[in-house]
Structure 1
Amino acid sequence: MKKRIIALSMIAAMSAALPGTALAAETSQEQQISVTLTAEPEYTVTIPASVSMGNEGTYVDVTAEEITNLPEGKKISVTIAGTDKYNDQMVVEAQTSPRTSLRYQIISDDGELIETNASTGAAGVGKEVVSFTENGTKQYQIKPVISGRYEYGVAYTGSITFGIEVADAE
């Protein structure tokens, strides 16, 4: 019995050493790979940290510099992202008793009037104030809406947040 096991082991070892024929179909697949590297747009947009305005409002400069890699058909868009007031209302308030507030409007560089108004549902969030396709300075106008109850000689304050992004040019 021992001899049979040794003989079977030898036959198995010899069979493994002999070349055999593979029964597989020969296939090859080729894939072309194409890579185009694009640099991300880079830019610096400067918006003043504070603005003072009188009864007639004021003009505000927004500057875009160091614009590189901006794809064709795209622009750098500066929009209203929100305010510090309830429902993103475009309002400035005075520390008076009772508290007084004034609405304000923004007139974009292309002349669009942007304002919020709770009674009409007008909203400013998402509206474009200025846009750039090249380095430069553009202006928007900010004006108070003087109506209702207000007081002279007090400071009205509030804040607005701007969004800056690369968007499709129209």
Structure 2
Amino acid sequence: MTFLEVRNIITQRLEQYLGIPVILGDQATPPPDNYPFCYYSVTTPYAPTGAMGNYEQTEIPSTTKLTTTRTEQPTATLSLIFCSINRWSKDENGADTEPYIYGEDEAQSLAERAQGFFLHAEYDILSNLGIVVVDVTNTTNRTTLVVDEAARRYGFDVRIRYTRVDSRTDETVGSVTTSETKE
């Protein structure tokens, strides 16, 4: 499995679980106008364990070639940040209505729900998909000032382990002829 496949599985499932957009940070595309949302960045896409990995060689039928496959289980780290702002709820016509939403509370609540996603709700499902949650860090305040208002942000990092497989085709010697030389 490639890291991009792992990332896509995690972000799609997290988006479904929370019901908010989960987008890649540091893009040219601006974040959504509607709050709340989550953005993520990839801190480490591939951190090898230092082990040699498992090697397997398989003959390719009717050829003198074989496939050499190396399998390892590196880790990767994603940083997730949940964003909200103080605002009024909207009715079906887009008019302000009760209740008033406190961005701080909403962002922190989403971050805590996302931690639960990794620690319990999707832990087994992700594991069955080949993604093991290794570590979930504490939620921390990552609030920043945006023009004249603070964008309320809470986030954490999650470290996962996945199986990486690399293969190559190698030529072999088809046959060897030996001859004896007498002296």
**TM above 0.5:** no
With the shorter chain as reference, the TM-score category is: under 0.3
Structure whose residues are more often strand by fraction: 2
TM-score if structure 1 supplies the norm length? Answer: 0.22
Q: Which has the higher helix share?
A: 2
Bigger relative contact order (CA 8 A; separation at least 6): 1
Report the structure number with the largest CA radius of gyration.
1
